Amino acid sequence: MDQEIEIIRPKAETPDEILRIALKLFTTKGYFTTSLVDIAEASGLKNTSGIYHHFKNKHVMAAQLYANIFDSLNISIDDIRRRNQKSSEQLHGITDLFFKLTDDAPEVMQFLLILKLNEFLPEEKPVMETAAFVKIIKIIQAGIKAGEIRDIDPQLVNAYFFGVINHTLRAVLTGDLNKKADAYLSQTWLAAWNAIAKK
């Protein structure tokens, strides 16, 4: 049986690992304040050259992170829509996902909620035009049609619902709220849903 050898200072050899490290730095320090030297060092490399073997340039790294994160979010939302019928259930599923991501992959939620993406990825679609978020608006429209959700501008519904959800998660990510996101899940879901539910 082959035994896996633990390396004490693990080199980030695969592109995926380097990308993960870059995401971490982008979300904590910011894109522009993170140099390729920072990424190289954090990856256990002595230079930036190694990075250029995997990625054409710094900007491409960010674009790949953008694609990965929004693609996987899109897939998750497809999955949630398939498994649930009612808009309320689908939104609940998305809420669960966001809270889980905040605890398990905070960098991903930082990327989605806090980074000013159009500053360093001006050519990418604004968040609300991505497939994932277009589907969220569709869920809201269906909920309005079905009489579950108040009949107001879907974008306004979105602002109320995800205003509550995202601002809470943001507070967890910044430390203003000091428990795990999961501790606030049920009451926050209720607050968000009540803000948009037809009484």
Partner DNA sequence: GTCTATACGCCGATAGAC
Partner DNA sequence: GTCTATCGGCGTATAGAC
Q: Which residues bind DNA (CB under 7 A)?
A: 13, 34-37, 45-50, 52-54, 56-59
Of 46 and 199, nearer to DNA (C-beta) is 46
Binding mask 36-75 for its own copies (x = CB under 8 A): ----------------------------------------
Exposed e or buried b per residue across 27-58, where buried means at least 16 C-beta atoms within 10 angstroms of its C-beta? beeebeebebebbbeebbbeebebbeebbeeb
- Closest approach, Cβ 165 to DNA, in A, equals 33
68-107 residues near its own copies, rule: CB under 8 A: none
Could you give the CA distance from residue 106 to residue 159 in angstroms, rounded to a whole number? 22
147-186 residues near its own copies, rule: CB under 8 A: 152-153, 155-156, 158-160, 162-168, 170-171, 174, 176-177, 184
Please tell me what DSSP assigns to residue 81: H
- Closest approach, Cβ 156 to its own copies, in A, equals 7
Interface with its own copies, residue 29, by CB under 8 A: yes
Evaluate whether 196 touches 87 at the Cβ level (below 8 Å): no
Could you give the CA distance from residue 175 to residue 170 in angstroms, rounded to a whole number? 8
How is residue 23 written in tokens?
């995401």
